[in-house]
Structure 1
Amino acid sequence: MFWPEVTLVDACVRRDGEGGSPTAVTHDDPAATDADRCAVAATAGTSHAAFVGPGRTRDGAWPVRFFTVTTELSGCGHGTVAAQAVRLTRSGRDELNDRQHTGGRTFDTVAIRQPAGIEVWFDQGLVALRHPAPNERTAIVEALGLAADDPHPEDAPRIAAPGAPRMLVPVRDRSALDLVNPHLGRLATACRRYGLLGCFVYVPPVGDRPAAARMFAPAVGVDEDVANANSAGCLAAHLLDSTAARSVAIEVEQGDTLGRPASVLASARRGPAGITARVGGLAVVRGEG
């Protein structure tokens, strides 16, 4: 199926406007099949594609669906950044406060023009946290191929779910992070067995130095993600849960091992229902094809 207008966006670029995760954004076509939508990502050469619905939902939100080359996702953080950046660009405004409906949930978004691109923030909502069972933890860690001294000496793996669950796995430093070389087949099998989207391997922030992370999700057709914004929100929620503070704000650098340096901002706060997160990133709209 042919889509006449696909916009390419670098989502979650660094502060200089370089790098980021290439993402395809287009209007959805009700006549399209899910296979057609997966083909858009494959043809565009992007890991993800965002499809913006033709009209608002009953609660006034724009429906947006996300697909990889193999499947639909219940949510996509950097895809949301890309989709809202395109909506602002096409509106001709300097700021757009709106609502998005994805994966059965409606949430607030804001997009603002900045000198280096378009800054987008969205409310991630509640993030559920739990400790993995021993068999879950063992299967994922072994599939990652971590050496004996790679795990972080103080932090520990958690499973975080802002919707789709994923395992957060801390390692001791950036050198260990750079050397992670998972067995993708085993990791995909383990993630499917335990119902996980993927595995977010990270180094916690230290002082003024941002956190760093790599996201592996071969079970959904993404061997390694340039930027995974939702997992950055999950990390903020986990770090807050480990302290007595009422809020946490972090920056997470990603994409360096893929030659696409990316950066995601995230904050988490405690509320009556639990820990909620807010996620943001800078997007550069590159053009249409």
Structure 2
Amino acid sequence: MTDTGATDVAFAYVDVFAAKPLTGAPLTLVPDADGIVEEQMRAVAREFNQSETTFVQRPVRPGTTYRLRSFTPSGAEVFGAGHNALGAWLWLAQSGRLDGDGGTFVQHIGDDVLPVHVERPDGGPAVVTMEQSAPVFGAVATDRAGLAGALGLSPDDLVADRDARVVSTGAGHLLVPVRDRAGVDRAAPDAGRLTAVLRQAGGEGCYLYTHDTVDPAATAYTRFFNPAMGIAEDPATGTAAGPLAALLVDGGDVAPRPAGEARVVVEQGHSMGRPSTIVVTVAGSRVRISGSGLVVAQGTMLVPEAA
């Protein structure tokens, strides 16, 4: 406690789904957050102004390893397990908070209790694989012209014979098929119009995708917008990549391998200068995302006492 009535709180920056610093999705992480109440969490997330800030707490449910809570700058809590959760586990692994070089752990996020596997291939950087919730296929956006206009595109930019549909593996996002990479990069959403489209469809965010990829070995090239949650654009979105993979497998775009598991590689962040790669595997209703990353900064900040 300082004479300003505030407490020093440790934080870290983690670049998630990144192979080198200053790429991928930046995450602010606050470990040892048991003494921080929700009001303070929202204020801290607003201060850092990242797409999400995650707080790591001791478990409150039997059989779980850690509880995670994540907030956007607008103060909305995020319940899906994407880069917000994966970055927390990368930090826990790199900070020696997990027993040994890895293993299987259990995270509590929102109402979900989900397994997490951490490993260090050949002693290198930690790779985290997280289970998401079973896919739920939701509503279709029926007004194609309205959707295209909200994205700053024309209806011809959208794939003619493929619906834009809400799919959830923990968070429901509207998945919008676009003809080519140029169209995805050209999108310039109108925040108000897109928010109205998303509310009507029952989606939280909007994930544009095309099979016109940078890397021929990748499956989809994407961009993510979530104006209602205060996220203009996100460079890597695990909570959207999981639903996209489930949709592509369900629709026959990606075939399972002989072992019965389909592998989907998602590119994101190129238009922001923060390229990222998200690997998703789908086997029936089981959806898992994998990725690595780096802790790029650590420090402390002053957090005022709760009112």
TM-score surpassing 0.5? yes
Q: Which residue of 2 aligns with 1:24?
A: 28
Unpaired runs of 5+ residues, structure 1, are none
Q: Measure, in 2, the Cα distance between the counterparts of 1:2 and 1:189.
A: 40
Aligned AA (2:69) = R
Q: Measure, in 1, the Cα distance between the counterparts of 2:69 and 2:8.
A: 15
User: Over residues 188-230 of structure 1, what are the superposed CA-to-partner deviations in whole Å (9 max), with x where a residue is unaligned?
Assistant: 2332344321110011367624411001001111111111012
Q: Which residue of 2 aligns with 1:211?
A: 220
C-alpha spacing 1:113/1:56, structure 2 compared with 1 (3 Å): farther
Q: Which residue of 2 aligns with 1:132?
A: 140
Kept in 1, the 8 Å contact 2:179–2:210? The answer is yes
Q: 1:102-121 to 2 correspondence within 5 Å? A: 102-113=109-120, 117-121=125-129
Q: Measure, in 2, the Cα distance between the counterparts of 1:139 and 1:74.
A: 28
SS at match of 2:120: strand
- 1:25, distance to aligned residue in structure 2 (A): 1.1
- 1:39, distance to aligned residue in structure 2 (A): 2.5
Residues 1:91 and 2:105 aligned together: no
Q: Measure, in 1, the Cα distance between the counterparts of 2:202 and 2:69.
A: 20
SS at match of 1:134: coil
C-alpha spacing 1:7/1:217, structure 2 compared with 1 (3 Å): same
- 1:148, distance to aligned residue in structure 2 (A): 3.2
Q: Measure, in 1, the Cα distance between the counterparts of 2:51 and 2:240.
A: 16
User: Over residues 54-85 of structure 1, what are the superposed CA-to-partner deviations in whole Å (9 max), with x where a residue is unaligned?
Assistant: 24521233111111111111124001110001
User: Over residues 238-285 of structure 1, what are the superposed CA-to-partner deviations in whole Å (9 max), with x where a residue is unaligned?
Assistant: 111112745321111111111111111101111xxxx22111111111
Unpaired runs of 5+ residues, structure 2, are 1-5, 300-307
Residues 1:39 and 2:43 aligned together: yes
Q: Measure, in 2, the Cα distance between the counterparts of 1:213 and 1:76.
A: 18
CA RMSD of aligned residues (A): 2.3
Residues 1:52 and 2:56 aligned together: yes
Q: Provide the identity percentage.
A: 29
Moved more, 51-60 or 19-28: 51-60
SS at match of 2:132: strand
Q: Which residue of 1 aligns with 2:266?
A: 252
C-alpha spacing 1:158/1:116, structure 2 compared with 1 (3 Å): farther
Residues paired across the two proteins, number: 283
- 1:32, distance to aligned residue in structure 2 (A): 3.3
- 1:16, distance to aligned residue in structure 2 (A): 5.1
C-alpha spacing 1:30/1:155, structure 2 compared with 1 (3 Å): same
**Quick one: which of 152, 160, 168 aligns to 1:161?**
168
Q: Measure, in 1, the Cα distance between the counterparts of 2:136 and 2:15.
A: 29
Kept in 1, the 8 Å contact 2:141–2:164? The answer is no
Q: Which residue of 2 aligns with 1:229?
A: 238
Residues 1:287 and 2:297 aligned together: yes
